Structure 1
Amino acid sequence: MKHSSKLIALIVLFTSCQRFLDVQPELQVDQSQAITNASTAEAAVNGLYNRLGSDGYYGSNFPAIAYLSGGDIQWTGSQSAPQEITARKLTADNGYVGSAWSAIYRTILQANYLLEAVPNLTDPQLTADRKNQIQGEAYAIRALSYFDLVRGWGGVQLITKPTRTPADNTGITRSSVEDTYAQVLKDLTTAEPLLSNTTNRNKITRKTVWALRARYHLYRQEWEQAETYASKLIDDATNYKLAKPYSAFYTNNAVATSESVFEIAYTNSFKNGHYNWWLPPALSGRREWAPNGTLVSLLNDPAVGGNRKELIAQTAPPGNLWYGKLYYRTPLGTDPAYVIRIAELYLIRAEARAQLGKTTTALADLNAVRDRAGVPLSQVATKDALLLAIEAERQVEFPFEADRWFNLVRTGRVATVLGISDASKYVLPIPNSEILADKALTQNPGY
């Protein structure tokens, strides 16, 4: 495994997903934000979650890249960046891609500072258990960040130490896909014993790590471990269960329900940007993208979407425009960002079991999700049929979350489902600004 003590020479900060101009380079962390005691450590942990939930990361752009790429969302607005994604004309200058890359590395940078500083703090208000918890959260969030980088861009630069000066940021080559995934697993396994074995849907705990490991092992085709880690959450039925009906986990201002394993909380002063792009102008949004006709038909089909039809609605005549309403709350922008839900753990375990030849229990997991959605139970009985059924279920279960595109790439189904035969387009371009800033950073083929 390759480890580097350096960070990319230029991390471009986009101040919000609405603006892609007037960008400024961010070369290092402001030393005035040094972590020196319990209070600054706690502030830094809060800042780490804010990085994770920023506009460039889970607050808008990273999930948007996934669902705009997945073939079920149409571009309806004026911005060029999402139009490039839906039109399959993505370039290395795309603002969404640049913003997401930057935001993820900023999250890693914040985690690295915590991991360096916290073990050495001697503040009596910072107990050993709390120091362990903070480090576990930092390791786990860094693991999630590298996982999102590798599934989006392939092998990337591995940065595991803080950045002190601009000189630290040069000459870093990209690690392989294998080594990047190995870093993810190393961070998850390091995080697990440091964390409390409690249930917290807005903060990282040991249970969150188990969920992330289930997803990791699925991507690595390590079926037994995917099944094992998914079962740890599913078997904890006191704390995790499918909310019924489907809309129960998000309607009526619901937050942190039994459905949620990890969701990022937002407030009126720290907003989730999704609403702006999904809601129509009558509801104070811009509706720059919307479910396309295929997805609308699927969600409205009682045998496919079932009660998941509540994810979409139409504007009043004469427009009759379909829009997504997962992100809808008042005050605007206070919707959670759903990083991982228990429904995904059921479908992870279903797929792992199908791959292991456990068709009966795989079907039971698939049907648990279908039952919650109020659709007829599946009767498929073969491995191949189960895998296709699970793929179809994901399409209508997570249409507005960071799921479909990455799963089609993972399963080798992009060409068949979306008609994209050029495999170089299965990864995102490295932002041109980063290539220009560090000559050691190479572009993905095809861009």
Structure 2
Amino acid sequence: MKKYIYIIPVILLLGACKKFLTVEPKLNVDQSQAIVDAGSAGTATNGLFNTLASSGYYGENFPAISYLAGGDIQWTGSQSDASDINKHLTSSTNGYILTAWTTIYETISQANYIIADVPKVTDPLFTTATRNQYLGEAYFIRALAYFDLARGWGGVQLILKPTTTPADNTGIPRSSLADTYAQVLKDLNTAETLVPSAVNRNRVTQKTVWALKARLYLYTQQWALAEQYATQVISDATDYTLVTPYSAFFANNAVATKESVFELAYTVSNTNGHSTWWLPPALGGRREWAPNTGLVALLNNPAIGGNRSALIAQTAPPGNLWYGQLYYRQPLGTDPAYVIRIAELYFIRSEARAEQGNLSGSLADLNAVRARAGVPASTAATLSDLLLALEKEREVEFPFETDRFFNLVRTGRAQTVLSLPDTHLYLFPIPYSQTLVDPELAGANANPGY
């Protein structure tokens, strides 16, 4: 039987000053010869990483949804979809939402093919170690994709097998949030047994798996396990450390520093789209995403932002416009995407320790990150004070990464901090086009309020 990939319609964002949407049609792509030997298995796995790093996912769209919704970034352009997310007026027809949703499911689809077909390859040149690495990476990336769907949309449809005909993988009901997270953990457990132990910041290793497990256990409030897995990564001080100063992990064209647990690499032919949106025209960008005045004040405050002020810069007079410079490299678009940094593991362990009553240990982890930023040590002494201090520290540590909005939702603080009119905005809408073709996503099955 020939194999087919069922491609969901993907909206691509193009144009200069306003929104132009190109909708790719549903296609059945012949994949009958896709994975037949060691070489094609490697090609498929590289393709999986490319989709994870694409503009629809970590290369632009998915992080943007998080920080545009997080209250610290202003939209300075004219595209209504981005503006609506920024103003918490997101609708089910929002192009950014559709692009993220479809690209994440495309990532899952590619992972499913690798998981299904790589074990069948009989190529004598295909070593067990390489086979296991490809399989482990597919399981990890599928876990990350379902984790991102869960924190963005809640419980989702769990598609775990390849689509060999257009009729496959239809009629699958949405799973609960708990079941979606359970699938994430199942995939991570499998990946952990397959991937290598040697450090590689651009591929998946055991410590990459442990780091995502720590994040998962934080989201599911399993504090002891969150602390355990965060510690397993932090304890490897030879390979992972808070580099100093803060800018050392990204400035001067740095890549794959000891700060990074998992970062995605880009080239001139496979670019990261963030710099186009952050940089001003004089540097080749469009500056349609910019730090708002509140964030600028925080980052420039020596007692709060410290040396994290390196994240922002200002254009020359008479404009004097602030812009983000986490993504800045030339050729444009060759910046890494930071998926997991060691600073996050310190925050995870700090929160987990606080929730278990270890306030001194929690404070030590929080202050380790503050010391790296060159700010005075926190004196938070109660659970509530520590949790609030962690919230504020994340705000200035990860303002241009995929953290702020999801963290506020996870802690139940988004409505208060962002002045949201209703908690239904904690979840993104199911894309309208998907509700039209799949009744399992429509009506009562859709996210409420949209």
Bucket of the pairwise TM-score, normalised by the shorter protein: over 0.9
CA distance in 2, matches of 1:348, 1:378: 17
CA distance in 2, matches of 1:270, 1:393: 32
* Letter matched to residue 83 of structure 1: S
The CA deviation at 1:28 is 4.1
Cα pair 2:5 2:163 within 8 Å, conserved: no
CA distance in 2, matches of 1:133, 1:391: 36
The CA deviation at 1:129 is 1.4
Q: Does residue 372 of structure 2 align to residue 372 of structure 1?
A: yes
After TM superposition, the structure 1 = structure 2 runs for residues 407-418 of structure 1, keeping only pairs within 5 Å, are 407-418=407-418
The CA deviation at 1:33 is 5.7
Structure 1, unpaired ranges of 5+: 1-6
Residues 246-304 of structure 1: per-residue CA shift (max 9 Å, x gap): 00000000000000000000000000000011001111101111000000000000000
Counterpart among 2, 10, 15 of residue 13 in structure 1: 10
In the other structure, the counterpart of 2:56 is: 56
The CA deviation at 1:130 is 1.1
Cα pair 1:28 1:164 within 8 Å, conserved: no
Structure 2, unpaired ranges of 5+: none
Q: Does residue 449 of structure 2 align to residue 446 of structure 1?
A: yes
CA distance in 1, matches of 2:124, 2:32: 22
In the other structure, the counterpart of 1:47 is: 47
In the other structure, the counterpart of 1:3 is: none
In structure 2, relative to structure 1, the CA distance for the partners of 1:380 and 1:17 (3 Å cut) is: farther
Q: Give me the CA root mean square deviation.
A: 1.6
The CA deviation at 1:166 is 1.0
CA distance in 2, matches of 1:394, 1:81: 26
Q: Does residue 147 of structure 2 align to residue 144 of structure 1?
A: no
After TM superposition, the structure 1 = structure 2 runs for residues 251-290 of structure 1, keeping only pairs within 5 Å, are 251-290=251-290
CA distance in 1, matches of 2:403, 2:63: 8
Greater mean deviation of Cα atoms: 31-40 or 216-225: 31-40
The CA deviation at 1:144 is 0.2
* Letter matched to residue 128 of structure 2: A
After TM superposition, the structure 1 = structure 2 runs for residues 204-215 of structure 1, keeping only pairs within 5 Å, are 204-215=204-215
Q: Does residue 392 of structure 2 align to residue 392 of structure 1?
A: yes
Q: Secondary structure at the match of 2:22?
A: coil
Cα pair 2:5 2:30 within 8 Å, conserved: no
Q: Secondary structure at the match of 1:157?
A: coil
Cα pair 1:10 1:438 within 8 Å, conserved: no
TM-score between the two structures when normalised by the length of structure 2:
0.96
The CA deviation at 1:29 is 4.2
* Letter matched to residue 413 of structure 1: R
Residues 354-390 of structure 1: per-residue CA shift (max 9 Å, x gap): 0000001110000000000000011111111001000
Residues 381-425 of structure 1: per-residue CA shift (max 9 Å, x gap): 111100100000000000000001000000000122111141111
In the other structure, the counterpart of 1:117 is: 117
Q: Does residue 218 of structure 2 align to residue 218 of structure 1?
A: yes
Percentage of pairs with the same residue: 65
Cα pair 2:242 2:343 within 8 Å, conserved: yes
After TM superposition, the structure 1 = structure 2 runs for residues 292-307 of structure 1, keeping only pairs within 5 Å, are 292-307=292-307
After TM superposition, the structure 1 = structure 2 runs for residues 32-431 of structure 1, keeping only pairs within 5 Å, are 34-431=34-431
Residues 198-224 of structure 1: per-residue CA shift (max 9 Å, x gap): 100000111100000000000000000
In structure 2, relative to structure 1, the CA distance for the partners of 1:197 and 1:299 (3 Å cut) is: same
In the other structure, the counterpart of 1:24 is: 24
* Letter matched to residue 281 of structure 1: P
Q: Which has the higher contact order (CA 8 A, sep 6+)?
A: 1
TM-score between the two structures when normalised by the length of structure 1:
0.97
CA distance in 2, matches of 1:438, 1:60: 27
CA distance in 1, matches of 2:396, 2:12: 32
Q: How many residues align?
A: 442
The CA deviation at 1:9 is 7.1
In structure 2, relative to structure 1, the CA distance for the partners of 1:59 and 1:425 (3 Å cut) is: same
Cα pair 1:154 1:427 within 8 Å, conserved: yes
* Letter matched to residue 91 of structure 2: T
CA distance in 2, matches of 1:93, 1:390: 34
CA distance in 1, matches of 2:47, 2:5: 21
* Letter matched to residue 396 of structure 2: V
The CA deviation at 1:313 is 0.5
Cα pair 2:5 2:109 within 8 Å, conserved: no
Residues 117-146 of structure 1: per-residue CA shift (max 9 Å, x gap): 100101011111111111110000000000
